[in-house]
Amino acid sequence: MSGDNEVEIPEVDSVSGSGIPIRGNDIDTDQIIPARFMKVVTFDGLGEFAFFDLRFDDDDNQKAHPMNEDRFQDSSVMVVNSNFGCGSSREHAPQALMRWGIDAIIGESFAEIFAGNCLALGIPTVTADSETIEDLQSWVDENPDGELEIDVEAETVTYGDTTIDVTVDDAQRKALVEGVWDTTALMKSNAGEVRKKAEELPYVPASAIPEAE
């Protein structure tokens, strides 16, 4: 138990950085990190394989993709369209993006498990309507060095002279702003109540319930 107290969970009130546009609806996690790169027992080093098959051809030559462009190499805010991260539940997907350098994602909509996985890494996934997103993608394209600031608590994104309203899921906002997005320690502290709940459930055998610590 004591080990858990050593984990520091930072508050994520805001994220700022330059943007990178990744266009297209229904971008699935198989595209974000192809299955063959999941034959690993740690997430280390996944960054270089993010969007691999869209970025490289069979001979590992670069294809046209924003993540290959010099001007986006320092970008940390990804701007995407609808249903981003659909498909497989693999946390390898947001892990790969995070390890490439992404700290936040702005999009029209996100698949639920993907958004949950991002939250578990402290990566905000904020949403706006399609027109707003397209405008933002165009701006990022034209201003690759331009700074975007996501204010998670105020639910706004500021770029250039423009500030737009975005939506941050309530639980996500609280978790990020209050620094409780890594839920292990928080939930572990309720171990007694968890045991009580287990005892109440008719299908849980008594032998499966651990002794109080």
Partner 1 sequence: MSERTLYDKVWDRHTVTTLPTGQDQLFVGLHLIHEVTSPQAFGMLRERNLEVAYPKLTHATVDHIIPTADQSRPYEEDAAEEMMSELEENVREAGIEFSDPNSGDQGIVHVVGPEQGLTQPGKTIVCGDSHTSTHGAFGALAFGIGTSQIRDVLATGTVAMEKQKVRKIQVDGELGEGVEAKDVILEIIRRLGTEGGVGYVYEYAGSAIEDLSMEGRMSICNMSIEGGARAGYVNPDETTYEWLEGTDYFQENPEKFDELKPYWEAIRSDDDAEYDDVVTIDASELEPVVTWGTTPGQGVGVTEPIPAPEALPEEKQDTARRAQEHMRVEPGETMAGYEIDVAFLGSCTNARLSDLRRAAEIVDGRQVDGDVRALVVPGSQRVQRAAEEEGLKAIFEDAGFEWRNAGCSMCLGMNEDQLEGDEASASSSNRNFVGRQGSKDGRTVLMNPQMVAAAAVTGEVTDVRELKEVQTA
Kindly tell me which of 63 and 71 has the beta carbon lying closer to partner 1: 63
Identity at 135, one-letter amino acid code: D
Footprint (CB under 8 A) of partner 1, residues 23-62: 24-26, 28, 30-31, 34-36, 38-43, 53
211 binds partner 1 (CB under 8 A): no
Binding range to partner 1, per CB under 8 A, among 8-16, 21-29, 149-157, 159-167: 21-29
Kindly tell me which of 142 and 203 has the beta carbon lying closer to partner 1: 203
188 binds partner 1 (CB under 8 A): yes
Q: CB under 8 Å to 20, separation ≥6 — which residues?
A: 66, 67, 72, 75, 77, 78, 79, 102, 140, 144
Kindly tell me which of 130 and 163 has the beta carbon lying closer to partner 1: 130
Other beta carbons within 10 Å of 210: 9
DSSP string covering 180-205: --S-HHHHHTTHHHHHHHHHHSTTS-
Supply angle C-alpha 135, 53, 48, rounded to 5. 85
Binding range to partner 1, per CB under 8 A, among 9-17, 64-72, 99-107, 193-201: 193-201
Supply angle C-alpha 68, 73, 75, rounded to 5. 120
Footprint (CB under 8 A) of partner 1, residues 71-100: 82-83, 86-92, 94-95
Footprint (CB under 8 A) of partner 1, residues 100-129: 109-113, 116-117, 120-121
